[in-house]
Amino acid sequence: MIPPGEMIGILGGGQLGRMIALAAANLGYRCHVYAPEADSIAADVCAAFTQGEYDDEPALAAFAAQCAVVTYEFENVAATPLAAVTAHAPLHPPARALEVAQDRVNEKSFVEALGGRPAPWAKVDSMEDLRAAVASIGAPGILKTRRDGYDGKGQWRIVQASDAEAVELPGKPLIYEGFVTFDAEFSVILVRTEAGEVRFWDSAENVHKGGILDRSTVPASPVILAQVEEARALAAKVADALGYVGVLTLEFFATADGPVFNEMAPRVHNSGHWTIEGALTSQFENHVRAICGLPLGSTALAAKGVVMDNLIGDDAHDWPAILSDPANHLHLYGKAAVRPGRKMGHVTRLVL
């Protein structure tokens, strides 16, 4: 057990790290952020900050030596250099979870081996591969980079087979996925302790705009609720197979044939931000509790319902209007520059 007062290391300097650090502070911990950028909105609320590259092993080792436990808020950290971290402090979730989740081919293969069902997919490394993938899987579909994609970045929609010819391949490993006809999208967010205790939050119904999460609503619609049990069973299998400690997220499509696995994130998730006010214990606090070996808090709802809206780009300028309604819970991440498509904050409303 790592008692309050100790230092928690966080790899990654964005809003997820910021919200983990705020929850950790409430429990009496201090946090140390490690990130490559000079300005980190997570470090802004932390006791210590190391600016370093994710493959700088001496810097990672020096950072970990100052921490009682290390976690991450960003999954595109190379797994191999993390041996420099684990030599000095426990790393939760394990590096294996990163290796699986940071590559779309690995995550789909891993989940298939556990009985999960993703969209039909094929590896693409050349124009020939792409033609073959579109011929066998069909169009419409989506070509995605295997690594480093987020918020719909690194994706190309193939509406008809001939569109494949117009794609300029980016020279990175890719994957082609058949387009899933879904009724709705939802996520399963769980927390798992080292002893294997698992708790789930209510699944949010997620609506994306332009590949970016726009709104999460709890409770989800009945079509989703009917599929949550099956999706949870898969998520628990994934967590157990990885010996996972902390918060884990799986995204699903609710389809006429049941839940189709989309992707996983080995971390707290945007579709769980509603838990800060909408659940008895937030995803951030339970992540801290799990990685420190504390008892978990209840994941039960704190209201009849919750709606979380992301503030993307210019939306953040609406903060005066948002605050003029006393029922709104405003979260701004403190990012200096507003850019189109950038997550600047979110607003949560409870249905009491």
Task: Give the whole-angstrom CA distance, residue 175 versus residue 123.
Answer: 5
Nearer to ligand ADP, 193 or 217 (CB): 217
- Least distance (Å) between residue 56 CB and ligand ADP: 26
The string of DSSP letters for 293-313 reads: TPPPPP--BSSSEEEEEEEEG
User: Which of 351, 197, 346, 195 is closest to 272 using CA atoms?
Assistant: 346
Point out the annotated binding site for ATP: 104, 144, 149-155, 177-180, 185, 208, 262-263
- Which helix (H) or strand (E) segment is 281 a member of? none
- Sign of the torsion angle spanned by Cα atoms 179, 182, 185, 190: negative
Nearer to ligand ADP, 54 or 261 (CB): 261
Task: Give the whole-angstrom CA distance, residue 49 versus residue 40.
Answer: 9
- Least distance (Å) between residue 236 CB and ligand ADP: 21
For ligand ADP, the binding residues (CB under 6 A) are 119, 142, 149-152, 177, 179-180, 185, 208, 211, 251, 262-263
Task: Give the whole-angstrom CA distance, residue 3 versus residue 31.
Answer: 13
- Least distance (Å) between residue 79 CB and ligand ADP: 18
- Least distance (Å) between residue 118 CB and ligand ADP: 8
Structure tokens at 16: 């997820």
- Least distance (Å) between residue 262 CB and ligand ADP: 5
Task: Give the whole-angstrom CA distance, residue 227 versus residue 93.
Answer: 26
User: Which of 288, 290, 277, 343 is closest to 315 using CA atoms?
Assistant: 343
Nearer to ligand ADP, 93 or 149 (CB): 149
Q: Which residue lies nearest ligand ADP, judged by its C-beta?
A: 180
Point out the annotated binding site: 104, 144, 149-155, 177-180, 185, 208, 262-263
- Least distance (Å) between residue 42 CB and ligand ADP: 20
Nearer to ligand ADP, 161 or 303 (CB): 161
Residue pair 109/128 in contact by the 8 Å Cβ criterion:
no
- Sign of the torsion angle spanned by Cα atoms 89, 197, 93, 305: negative
User: Which of 266, 265, 259 is closest to 117 using CA atoms?
Assistant: 259
Nearer to ligand ADP, 149 or 278 (CB): 149
Nearer to ligand ADP, 193 or 262 (CB): 262
